[in-house]
Amino acid sequence: MEQLIYRIVIDEQICNGKPIIRGKRITVETILEFLTAGDSVEEILFQYPSLEKEDISACLQFALELMKHNYVVKTFAYA
């Protein structure tokens, strides 16, 4: 969790408040999309040379922490 404090930042003035990697304007969402598409960590690091392997790990850890919460989905009747 400590890794997240230093690597993942949320600032409403940057990228519409989406979580980013320490001020690089690279969103956690972008990294997760690359991973979901099958790109390797090495391929992502090649595309974004300013990133470190630990940044990508922090993105995964951030997503994991979000999934540890309970969520309630409410349905609304539309007229």
Instruction: Label residue 79 by pLDDT band (50, 70, 90).
Output: low
CA 9, CA 43: separation in Å to the nearest integer? 23
Q: What is the pLDDT of residues 14-70, one digit of tens each?
A: 999 999 999 899 999 999 999 999 999 999 999 999 999 999 999 999 999 999 999
DSSP output for 24-78: SS-BHHHHHHHHHTT--HHHHHHH-TT--HHHHHHHHHHHHHHHTS---------
In a domain, 75, yes or no: no
Query: pTM, whole model, 2 decimals?
Result: 0.82
Domain containing 48: what range?
2-67
In a domain, 14, yes or no: yes
CATH number, domain with residue 32:
1.10.10.10
